[in-house]
């Protein structure tokens, strides 16, 4: 008779050493103890790999015999999978093994994740929620490379030929831009929410709806949540309020987004607000929606003064900083500079106001919309340029919602290593890489569409919601991003010159980006999808590519990789930017880097690293006007650096080793990493290497005329 030992109240454990009668228990992924039954192996093999019955039975029997002969009384589901997979390998059934594989994380890695921070994204603080995020991302990354993308695309990512961004968020689109008009008109109506809110009657309620909707959206998108014309769409709610009350609303908006450390991984919601001093032309004649979702009887052109009052107060709050006087990280204010801006009363006072904030705190992003161009910007530099259909949507602005479904970045230096100085070979490899990127986008699109097909009961219920007759995510209108990293190092390897060195280097760099742009146009027409170039922010990608190339192309890469190879603080130059350590005059840098921007439709930026410098608002305003008038530059941000003392809570310009006020070395260092401010302590090694190399510009804001570009 078999003796039993109770392991828990429900499930017995056999105490018999006879292999024929032994009833082993398996700890399953559902955390239950199940009696051993080899037929479950057979069923799993047939269900997951479509093996024939005979082979499945044979493998199950072999695995059972192996476990029995080893004398194991307790086995785990992962162990069984490993043993089964080894039998599949012995039979040459690699495709079946891949389908049968178990996704997970080694025990040692989990221990490291719990104890040590993950600095892939500087916006994610270390803590239990961050650990959950990292674990989930690791499993989803494996799933994506096995199940969503082809082996050719997956292998290219693993090798570092290209980078598939946000693999850990493979089951959601990349990022989004939307309009407050949607929640003004429909209220807060979220799938799976316990309560439905009607359209807001008061401005503070509209703010609450905005923050909650942004949090819900970030649960469905991998990247930034951008908002269009925020000050304009708030304007109908501000009539009759005092300046003090309007400023209070501005404070609520900024502090709510800055203090929401509740998004995935415990991070703040990555939010951008697009702002205007003038009423954009495409909104002038649009009927305004006010409290309770009702039309006010006015057009938005009639709310210009209220919109200006709100945007002015927003920048007063940015100027003051947070409770300790530090710059706000989010929401990022993106101010659009247009031809109409310069025709609008008070524009110079406002320009001085936002330049004062840019010089003092660094928050202001300057987005240049020349001619008839109109766009919504977000993330670190992403822009959605409004086409004819978008401008038609502007008449009913709640329809103005946009998304980039995915970003795939090309490792440009590696192409140069492989080309070995041959122009023809270089462009041949570039064509192959862009084709792979297009294939990756096709595969991601099919996967997301399959999830959306489940509708409002599916995993992307919010994006399938159709309150205005169309799904929130309109798949026929999304864009597919092709990014680039290391153009500077590609040119350096191929020609022996960096981008800023010679006219020849600049011309060849422009030729490469123009070719990439043409290839995107070709695949757009071929697949009826909108492929566009974007400058990749490359917070971690520039580091990853550099490390992989030092491994696989060490002889070439060690001569062009930036940073310190010995400390592992290595990186490539972001996108089409110049070497951050080059001493190019900022005026020339803005103008020359701007020559690439018309070719990069989905967004480009130039960073001016201020360091300790604090230019006057007048000189900075003069510089901004010159950029708008005399360059093709798409966006500019000015980045100061700060040291914040944790002991005496004082703030100082520049990155100090000790607090100038009290001498403490317990400090926070804050500056812009790619497209947003954050603490330097959260940066990865590659970005730390870049920070050390950055050339801080001194005394360049004199009102001298801009010279002609090379």
What confidence tens digit (pLDDT) does each residue in 526-560 have?
A: 999 999 999 998 889 999 999 999 999 999 999 99
> Which pLDDT band holds residue 120 (cuts at 50, 70, 90)?
low
> Which pLDDT band holds residue 254 (cuts at 50, 70, 90)?
very high
> Which pLDDT band holds residue 7 (cuts at 50, 70, 90)?
very low
Q: Which residue has the higher pLDDT, 643 or 76?
A: 643
The answer for residues whose C-beta is within 8 angstroms of residue 709's C-beta and 6 or more apart is 588, 591, 592, 595
88 and 194 inside one domain = no
58 within domain boundaries: yes
48 within domain boundaries: yes
675 within domain boundaries: no
Highest mean pLDDT of the ranges 9-13, 72-76, 199-203: 199-203
346 and 225 inside one domain = yes
697 within domain boundaries: no
82 and 219 inside one domain = no
* pLDDT tens sequence across 464-475: 999 999 999 999
> Which pLDDT band holds residue 119 (cuts at 50, 70, 90)?
low
270 and 389 inside one domain = yes
Q: Which residue has the higher pLDDT, 125 or 599?
A: 599
Stretch 472-490: mean pLDDT: 97
CA distance 50 to 22: 29
Q: Which residue has the higher pLDDT, 225 or 382?
A: 225
* pLDDT tens sequence across 582-631: 999 899 999 999 999 999 999 899 999 998 888 999 999 999 999 999 99
> So what's the pLDDT on residue 70?
85
Select from 397, 431, 451 the last residue of a domain: 397
> So what's the pLDDT on residue 430?
98
Select from 56, 83, 100 the last residue of a domain: 100
280 and 190 inside one domain = yes
- Look up residue 468 and give its DSSP letter: T
225 and 337 inside one domain = yes
319 and 223 inside one domain = yes
Q: What string of DSSP letters covers 609-660?
A: EEET----HHHHHHHHHHHHHH----EEEEEE-EEEETTT--EEES--SS-T
> So what's the pLDDT on residue 350?
98
pTM: 0.86
Select from 77, 100, 123 the last residue of a domain: 100
∠ Cα 583 626 534 (to 5°): 70
Q: For residue 301, give its domain range.
A: 181-397
77 and 185 inside one domain = no
Neighbours of 250 (CB within 10 A): 23
Neighbours of 6 (CB within 10 A): 9
87 and 203 inside one domain = no
Q: Which two tokens stand for residue 192?
A: 């799976």
> So what's the pLDDT on residue 265?
58
pLDDT at 462 over 80: yes
CATH of the domain at 301: 3.20.70.20
The answer for residues whose C-beta is within 8 angstroms of residue 377's C-beta and 6 or more apart is 226, 272, 274, 334, 336, 365, 367, 383, 384, 603, 635
34 within domain boundaries: yes
> So what's the pLDDT on residue 15?
38
Cis amide linkage into residue 331, ω under 30° from 0: yes
Q: How many domains does the chain have?
A: 2
Q: Which residue has the higher pLDDT, 185 or 189?
A: 185
47 within domain boundaries: yes
Cβ proximity of 238 and 306 under 8 Å? yes
> So what's the pLDDT on residue 264?
60
201 within domain boundaries: yes
197 and 305 inside one domain = yes
87 and 187 inside one domain = no
Angstrom CA distances, 619 to 115, 138, 181, 625, stand at 48, 48, 37, 10
Q: Which residue has the higher pLDDT, 684 or 482?
A: 482
95 and 185 inside one domain = no
583 within domain boundaries: no
């Amino acid at each position: 008779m078999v003796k039993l030992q109770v392991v828990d109240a429900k499930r017995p454990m056999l105490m018999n050493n006879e292999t024929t009668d032994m009833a082993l228990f398996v700890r399953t992924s559902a955390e239950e103890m199940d009696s051993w039954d080899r037929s479950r192996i057979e069923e799993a093999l047939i269900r997951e790999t479509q093996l024939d019955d005979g082979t499945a039975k044979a493998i199950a029997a072999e695995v059972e015999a192996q476990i029995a002969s080893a004398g194991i009384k307790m086995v785990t589901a992962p162990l069984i999978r490993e043993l089964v997979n080894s039998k599949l390998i012995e039979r040459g059934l690699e495709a079946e093994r891949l389908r049968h594989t178990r996704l997970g994380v080694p025990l040692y890695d989990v221990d490291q994740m719990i104890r040590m921070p993950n600095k892939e994204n500087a916006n994610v603080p270390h803590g239990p929620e961050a650990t959950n995020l990292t674990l989930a991302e690791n499993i989803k990354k494996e799933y994506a490379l096995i199940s969503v993308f082809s082996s050719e695309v997956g292998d290219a990512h693993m090798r570092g030929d290209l980078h598939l961004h946000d693999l850990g968020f493979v089951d959601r689109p990349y990022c989004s831009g939307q309009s407050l008009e949607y929640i003004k008109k429909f209220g807060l109506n979220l799938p799976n929410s316990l309560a439905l809110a009607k359209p807001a009657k008061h401005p503070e309620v509209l703010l609450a709806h905005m923050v909650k909707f942004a949090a819900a959206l970030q649960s469905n998108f991998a990247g930034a949540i951008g908002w269009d014309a925020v000050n304009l769409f708030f304007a109908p709610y501000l009539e009759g309020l005092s300046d003090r009350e309007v400023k209070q609303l501005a404070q609520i908006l900024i502090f709510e987004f800055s203090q929401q450390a509740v998004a995935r991984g415990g991070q703040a919601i990555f939010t951008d607000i697009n702002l205007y001093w003038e009423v954009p032309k495409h909104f002038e004649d649009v009927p305004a929606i006010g409290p309770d979702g009702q039309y006010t009887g006015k057009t938005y052109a009639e709310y210009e003064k209220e919109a200006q009052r709100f945007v002015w107060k927003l920048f007063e709050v940015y100027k003051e900083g947070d409770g300790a006087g530090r710059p706000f990280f989010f929401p990022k204010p993106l101010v659009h500079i247009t031809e109409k801006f310069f025709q609008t009363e008070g524009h110079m006072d406002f320009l001085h106001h936002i330049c004062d904030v840019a010089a003092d705190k660094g928050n202001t992003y300057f987005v240049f919309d020349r001619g008839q161009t109109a766009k919504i910007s977000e993330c670190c530099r992403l822009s959605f340029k409004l086409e004819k259909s978008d401008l038609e949507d502007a008449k009913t602005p709640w329809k103005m919602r946009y998304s980039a479904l995915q970003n795939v970045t090309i490792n440009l230096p590696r192409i140069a290593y492989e080309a070995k100085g041959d122009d023809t070979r270089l462009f041949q490899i570039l064509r192959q890489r862009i084709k792979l990127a297009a294939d990756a986008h096709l595969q991601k699109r099919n996967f997301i569409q399959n999830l959306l097909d489940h509708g409002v009961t599916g995993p992307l219920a919010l994006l399938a919601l159709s309150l205005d007759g169309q799904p929130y995510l309109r798949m026929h209108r999304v864009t597919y991003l092709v990014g680039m990293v290391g153009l500077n190092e590609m040119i350096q390897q191929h020609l022996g010159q960096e981008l800023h060195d010679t006219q020849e280097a600049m011309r060849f760099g422009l030729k490469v980006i123009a070719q990439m742009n043409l290839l995107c146009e070709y695949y757009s027409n071929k697949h009826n999808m909108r492929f566009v170039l974007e400058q990749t922010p490359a917070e971690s990608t520039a580091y990853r590519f550099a490390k992989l190339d030092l491994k696989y192309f060490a002889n070439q890469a060690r001569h062009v990789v930036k940073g310190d190879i010995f400390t592992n603080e290595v990186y490539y130059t972001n996108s089409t930017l110049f070497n951050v350590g080059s001493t190019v005059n900022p005026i020339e840098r803005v103008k020359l880097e701007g020559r690439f921007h018309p070719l990069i439709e989905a967004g480009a930026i130039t960073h001016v690293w201020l360091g300790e410098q604090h230019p006057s608002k007048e000189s900075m305003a003069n510089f901004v006007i010159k950029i708008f008038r005399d360059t093709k530059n798409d966006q500019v941000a000015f980045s100061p650096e700060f040291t914040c003392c944790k002991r005496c809570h004082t703030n100082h310009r520049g990155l100090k080793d000790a607090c100038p006020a009290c001498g403490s070395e317990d400090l926070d260092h804050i500056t812009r990493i790619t497209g947003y401010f954050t603490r330097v302590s959260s940066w990865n090694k590659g970005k730390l290497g870049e920070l050390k190399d950055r050339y801080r510009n001194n005394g360049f804001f004199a009102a001298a005329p801009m010279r002609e570009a090379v």
